[in-house]
């Protein structure tokens, strides 16, 4: 290990929640490092995937998560980085805006760096080992303070020996009305995003060999022939077993989802909109797999569907959510299998969900917050997770 770098607050994972936490921590005076494995910042909301910055406002028109996520959205708006497209963050300016915000807060960023290992002493994380993917240099980051696992998959937690949860809990264990009778290891389906552009001349689309036939009963409403650009994202797959799993076999799952994007576009262009889509061309498919769910860090409290739907209040509430409980069930034909369970009013999320119960300096960031599979359906959106990450970073300072 060639070099050692030190900080007081370390964030692993440069999605919106990780960025929010890093900015908050640095603004309070903590020396802060942010580690991201991709070249672009933003995670699922980067220009590599373009997931919308959804939150309570999507379902409750007078309620919106505020704080640093509000600053980010205002900056996006000022630089016209938000558009009317279905996926508003497919804009390369977004990455620069995020870099600027981090630079202004004096956050040290290591992008294109991979987490190799985590070192612990008793019930605390002392350092992490990183690999620079570009030149293969290895080094260690030490912290006497706190670490946030914002990897989306709880990689830091797993390597540190923190307690994690994965899969669907049983109704007996959680008391949730929509939980399974028996617990299983199934997680939510994953997605990819594609872009379609309207050109000045006709463009033929010949589906590659092995392209499956699209099920016309599945939704494809994201495509509109009248628009110059459309985003195709209503393709879901995986999560039911290890063969096509968002965490265990992501490369294979991405390849299969690409086939279903071809399948959807073949149906839209050559069947459903044969005349209207003559000049439309499939121009891009996201190189990043859109994972909705994998490992979650177990905290001192596990938020449930019942908590959300009964609008339970907590004495240690630090943020709120309000997005629909929409469950993306594993799909066998590449189309959406979304089950809408409820449209909750805004609900509290307690601080006890934001840290590991057995690793004393580990915070949960992003979709690794301590919650059940059913609660994740609502909490998993960008604005809600960003406000939770900001609260955790402030707690690190306190």
Q: How many CB atoms lie within 10 A of CB 313?
A: 10
Residues 6+ apart with CB under 8 A from 125: 118, 119, 143, 147, 156, 160, 359, 361, 362
Q: Which tens digit of pLDDT belongs to each residue from 135-169?
A: 999 999 999 999 999 999 999 999 999 999 999 99
Q: Which tens digit of pLDDT belongs to each residue from 216-236?
A: 999 988 899 998 889 899 999
Q: Which tens digit of pLDDT belongs to each residue from 331-380?
A: 989 999 999 999 999 999 999 999 999 999 999 999 999 999 999 999 99
H-helix or E-strand containing 12? strand 3-12
d(CA 235, CA 260): 7
What φ, ψ does residue 80 adopt, rounded to 5°? 55, 35
In 3-state terms the chain splits into helix, strand, coil percentages (rounded to 5) of 30, 25, 45
Stretch 258-278: mean pLDDT: 97
Q: Which of 291, 40, 13, 303 is nearest to 149 (CA)?
A: 13
Q: Which of 239, 252, 245, 232 is nearest to 329 (CA)?
A: 239
Following DSSP, what letter does each residue of 137-189 receive, concatenated? -EEEEEEEEEEEE-SSS-HHHHHHT--EE-SBPBHHHH--TTSBSS-B-----
Q: Which of 382, 380, 388, 384 is nearest to 188 (CA)?
A: 380
41, 99 contact by CB (below 8 A): yes
3-state secondary structure of 363: strand
Mean pLDDT value across the chain: 94
Q: Which tens digit of pLDDT belongs to each residue from 66-112?
A: 899 999 999 988 988 765 544 556 788 889 999 999 999 999 999 99
């Amino acid at each position: 290990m060639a070099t050692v770098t030190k900080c007081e607050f370390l964030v692993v994972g440069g999605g919106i929640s990780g960025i929010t936490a890093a900015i908050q921590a640095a603004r309070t005076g903590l020396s802060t490092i942010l580690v991201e494995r991709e070249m672009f910042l933003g995670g699922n909301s980067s220009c590599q995937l373009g997931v919308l910055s959804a939150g309570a406002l999507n379902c409750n028109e007078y309620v919106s998560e505020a704080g640093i996520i509000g600053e980010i959205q205002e900056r996006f708006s000022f630089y016209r980085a938000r558009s009317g497209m279905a996926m508003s963050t497919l804009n390369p300016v977004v990455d620069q805006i995020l870099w600027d915000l981090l630079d202004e807060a004096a956050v040290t960023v290591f992008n294109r760096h991979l987490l190799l290992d985590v070192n612990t002493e008793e019930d605390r994380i002392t350092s992490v080992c990183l690999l620079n993917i570009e030149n293969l240099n290895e080094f260690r980051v030490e912290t006497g303070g706190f670490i946030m696992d914002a990897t989306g998959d709880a990689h830091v937690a797993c390597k540190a020996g923190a307690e994690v949860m994965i899969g669907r809990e049983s109704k007996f264990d959680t008391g949730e009305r929509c939980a399974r009778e028996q617990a299983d290891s199934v997680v939510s389906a994953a997605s990819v995003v594609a872009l379609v552009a309207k050109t000045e001349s006709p463009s033929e689309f010949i589906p590659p060999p092995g392209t499956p036939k699209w099920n016309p009963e599945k939704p494809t409403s994201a495509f509109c022939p009248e628009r110059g650009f459309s985003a195709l994202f209503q393709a879901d797959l995986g999560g039911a077993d290890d063969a096509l799993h968002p965490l265990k076999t992501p490369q294979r799952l991405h390849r299969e989802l690409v086939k279903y994007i071809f399948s959807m576009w073949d149906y839209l262009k050559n069947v459903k909109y044969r005349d209207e889509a003559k000049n439309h061309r499939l121009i891009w498919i996201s190189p990043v797999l859109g994972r909705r769910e994998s490992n979650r860090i177990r905290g001192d409290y596990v938020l449930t569907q019942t908590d959300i739907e009964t609008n339970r209040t907590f004495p240690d509430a630090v943020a709120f959510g309000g997005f629909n409980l929409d469950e993306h069930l594993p799909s066998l034909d590449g189309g959406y299998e979304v089950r809408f369970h409820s449209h909750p009013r805004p609900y509290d999320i307690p601080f006890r969900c934001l840290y590991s119960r057995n690793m004393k300096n580990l915070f949960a960031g992003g979709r690794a917050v301590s919650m059940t599979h059913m609660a994740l359906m609502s909490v998993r959106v960008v604005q809600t997770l960003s406000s939770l990450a900001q609260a955790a970073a402030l707690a690190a300072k306190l």
